[in-house]
Structure 1
Amino acid sequence: MTTKRIVLTGGGSGGHIYPLLAVAEELINLAPKFQFSLELFYLGPSGNYDKTISQAGITPSFILASKWRRYASINNLLDIPKFFLSIPQAFFKMFLLMPDLVFSKGGTSSIPVVLAARFFRIPVIIHESDSIPGMNNLFAGKVAKKVYLGFPRAKQYFNPQKTEVVGNPIRRELLARKVSREEARQKLGIQQPDLPVILVIGSSQGSQNLNKIVLAALEFLLQKAHIIHQTGKANHERVAAIAERLLQGKSLPGTYRPSPYFNEEELGTALSAADLVISRASAGAINEIAAFGRAALLIPLPTAAHDHQRVNAYDFAEETKGAAVLEEGNLTPTLFLNKVNELLAKKEQLARWGMAASHFFHPEATERIAQGILETLSHSS
């Protein structure tokens, strides 16, 4: 067995960390076939997922977090020195680790790591999840040996000789939680089997604007459906309190289940139970919807970099014919409610949409990325 060191890097959000964890798990699974013993490291910003990274058998090492926001914010000025300070941090830590390969998921904090890899002549492989790449992956793609993509549209931005569309990685643990609708609803204690289930997901941190729209329409929605609502940890107490006041003393057919955050088991159960998923249009959210074969109403985040969520949403809807898109700029509680009612009234269409959405999911994506990383290591030995 030959020992190989791999550094995983990316921004600190769930959209970066969860795909890294999925690929890391597959790397560990496939490494013996290549006669490799792996040492995995995470080099990036510290955040909410530090414990999760360590529990996955990955040694974390942190650099200063920075982010460029595409809207006016004092934090942009504060993050400029953080970014430049993170560069020598990354160079020093990469010198100490001296890995055999770097796998990057993008994000501003990945750039110092990619720069250090370039300086030390360490091969870089990247994965871009979205239809429109971020600036960080556009830069990293120029020095990467291989570029893996989640959406076909992104191929135009990279060298076609080293680009491959594979889909987006997903955690095995989440897929393992997929069960039948009946089993999921029984697990959730949903008694009325004839009433549809709506799952609302803002993002890993929740969405204040989406929460407001759901609360404004809540009483009317519960006349026709059960609602499972991921509010986000920061918003949960407020949303739950408002919902309690709105529903106090009212007997409605549907039940309302707010939750601050879903772990893999909870998310798998909620997706399995749902007839319709109302969600932001991050690549990760779309991938999970497709993996579970669910119809979707996508509401893209308007402040997403390069408007990539809007493009993600329309690409997914156009390719699969398994989703509708509502843009937040035009969104009112009345328009939202009318669209949801329209979709719920067409049960057969929702079932067809779910089946169509499932064809967008690439179950082999994680394995193909891990295989490519290990093959690169094998060729460079």
Structure 2
Amino acid sequence: MKRILFTGGGTAGHVIVNTALIPSFQEKGYEVDYIGSYEGIEKDLIEEMEKVNYYGISTGKLRRYMSKENIKDPFKVAKGIIQALSILRKRKPGVIFSKGGFVSVPVVIAAKLARIPVLIHESDYTPGLANKLSFPFADRILTTFPETLEHVPEKKSEYIGAVIRDELFRGDVAKAKLLTGFREDKPVLLVMGGSSGSGKINEAIRTNLEELLKKYNIIHLCGKGHKDESYSEKGYVQYEYVTDELKDLLEFSDLVVSRAGSNAIFEFVALEKPMLLIPLSRRVSRGDQILNSQSFERQGFAHTLEEEQVTGESFLEAIRRLDEDQDNLRDRMKKYEVEKSKEHVIELLERYEKGRDQR
């Protein structure tokens, strides 16, 4: 039996590419295993899939800032390495695909000890800390942005583009209309704050709800625990988070307001959705989303609004400019070829699994 193991977690962005690839390997007859954390979002997303064996392990948070928890993290990572090594020796996968996130670090290190080839996928413009720690143990590093090659080990890295989920191209407007219950025929504004939500984006939408509803129907993905039942206006629907329904809601939508996580914004390009990106501030992140959004703005795929610049007035003005520019944005996105990166990743993984590449 051919076996492949996937890892990655912490955010939906560290899982989405894995969920895009897993069905292809199942169709090819692979037994699929997944190593994630005990309680992370990856556990919920992967356990929704059929015939995927999920294993939880210990993981540290690998903080960049001072914290008492930093003392415990090396021990958690060490425990995770031992747990992952035990799983790998039991399951004996032929190859491992890592999407990043803290939980991937023990798995990649264990894979090196077990002499199992590892391919890492880096979605963002610059690598995150978890992937940086994992790079020395990887056999191959794949990047979404060509500029990322300047920040990764040259000899074992390759630009492959974005891996887009096939299911996103099968959205059904009729299902979305039934789900949302919209009755008026207005343009649809889809608002996404990431899997955990964005207080800043939520506030900007709700502060301007009355004005925005004059022109748009609004679908608001507000994040777990951020749904506010006091807002029940006609033409406005809230969801904490959606999975299977996302393809339908995207197909239904005309404009998108979103954070600037790499996987999501490349999906918007593939679907030709004009977007206003509000990246995570450098005050609470390493600035990767800012670089992602700047790259997309330079290419003419998106408008951006820095989080520190978001006010009720600036948000409305940004939506107005996005609306006026949507045709130009779509024209530019049409010229972007969604590369056959998914097929290329599958081919690479199969080659490593069969041992045809040098390890």
- Whether TM exceeds 0.5 here: the answer is yes
* Inter-partner Cα distance in structure 2 for 1:39 and 1:183: 33
Q: Which residue of 1 aligns with 2:43?
A: 50
- 1:313-344 deviations in Å (ceiling 9; x for gaps): 1111212x021110101211111112212333
Query: Aligned match of 1:158 in 152, 156, 162?
Result: 152
Deviates more, 1:362-371 or 1:124-133: 362-371
* Partner SS for 2:256: strand
Q: 1:57 to 1:362 in 2, by over 3 A?
A: farther
Does the 8 Å contact 1:289/1:357 carry over to 2?
no
Q: 1:73 to 1:334 in 2, by over 3 A?
A: farther
Q: Which residue of 2 aligns with 1:256?
A: 236
Whether 1:306 aligns to 2:272 is: no
Whether 1:377 aligns to 2:356 is: no
Query: Aligned match of 1:327 in 294, 306, 320?
Result: 306
* Inter-partner Cα distance in structure 2 for 1:364 and 1:118: 29
Q: 1:71 to 1:201 in 2, by over 3 A?
A: farther
Q: Which residue of 2 aligns with 1:240?
A: 229
* Partner SS for 2:15: helix
Does the 8 Å contact 1:287/1:361 carry over to 2?
no
How many residues align structurally?
Answer: 354
* Inter-partner Cα distance in structure 1 for 2:65 and 2:211: 35
Query: Aligned match of 1:26 in 21, 24, 27?
Result: 24
Q: Which residue of 2 aligns with 1:138?
A: 132
Q: 1:109 to 1:184 in 2, by over 3 A?
A: closer
* Partner SS for 2:303: strand
* Inter-partner Cα distance in structure 2 for 1:209 and 1:316: 21
Q: 1:258 to 1:51 in 2, by over 3 A?
A: closer
User: How much does 1:48 deviate?
Assistant: 3.6
Does the 8 Å contact 1:70/1:305 carry over to 2?
no
* Partner SS for 1:132: coil
* Inter-partner Cα distance in structure 2 for 1:211 and 1:73: 29
Amino acid at match of 1:223: K
Matches within 5 A, 1:214-293: 214-236=205-227, 239-241=228-230, 243-244=231-232, 255-264=235-244, 266-293=245-272
* Inter-partner Cα distance in structure 1 for 2:18 and 2:70: 26
More helix by share: 1
User: How much does 1:150 deviate?
Assistant: 1.0
- 1:94-121 deviations in Å (ceiling 9; x for gaps): 2322322111111121111111111122
Does the 8 Å contact 1:294/1:358 carry over to 2?
no
Q: Which residue of 2 aligns with 1:366?
A: 342
* Partner SS for 1:261: coil
Query: Aligned match of 1:85 in 71, 76, 79?
Result: 79
Q: 1:75 to 1:359 in 2, by over 3 A?
A: farther
* Inter-partner Cα distance in structure 1 for 2:11 and 2:70: 17
* Partner SS for 1:170: coil
User: How much does 1:375 deviate?
Assistant: 1.4
Q: 1:49 to 1:161 in 2, by over 3 A?
A: closer
Query: Aligned match of 1:41 in 33, 40, 45?
Result: 33
Amino acid at match of 1:197: V
User: How much does 1:263 deviate?
Assistant: 2.0
Normalised TM-score (structure 2): 0.89
* Inter-partner Cα distance in structure 1 for 2:124 and 2:99: 11
Unaligned runs of 5+ in 2: none
Q: 1:208 to 1:162 in 2, by over 3 A?
A: same
Query: Aligned match of 1:207 in 198, 206, 214?
Result: 198
User: How much does 1:380 deviate?
Assistant: 4.6
* Partner SS for 1:108: coil
Whether 1:96 aligns to 2:90 is: yes
Amino acid at match of 1:88: I
Q: 1:75 to 1:91 in 2, by over 3 A?
A: same
Q: 1:99 to 1:172 in 2, by over 3 A?
A: same
* Partner SS for 1:41: strand
User: How much does 1:73 deviate?
Assistant: 5.7
* Partner SS for 2:203: helix
Instruction: Let me know the Cα RMSD of the aligned residues.
Output: 2.5
Q: 1:111 to 1:240 in 2, by over 3 A?
A: same
Unaligned runs of 5+ in 1: 32-36, 248-253
* Inter-partner Cα distance in structure 1 for 2:240 and 2:291: 28
Amino acid at match of 2:290: R
User: How much does 1:7 deviate?
Assistant: 1.6
Percent identity of equivalent pairs:
32
* Inter-partner Cα distance in structure 1 for 2:166 and 2:321: 34
Amino acid at match of 1:45: S
Does the 8 Å contact 1:138/1:157 carry over to 2?
no
Query: Aligned match of 1:121 in 98, 106, 115?
Result: 115
User: How much does 1:72 deviate?
Assistant: 6.0
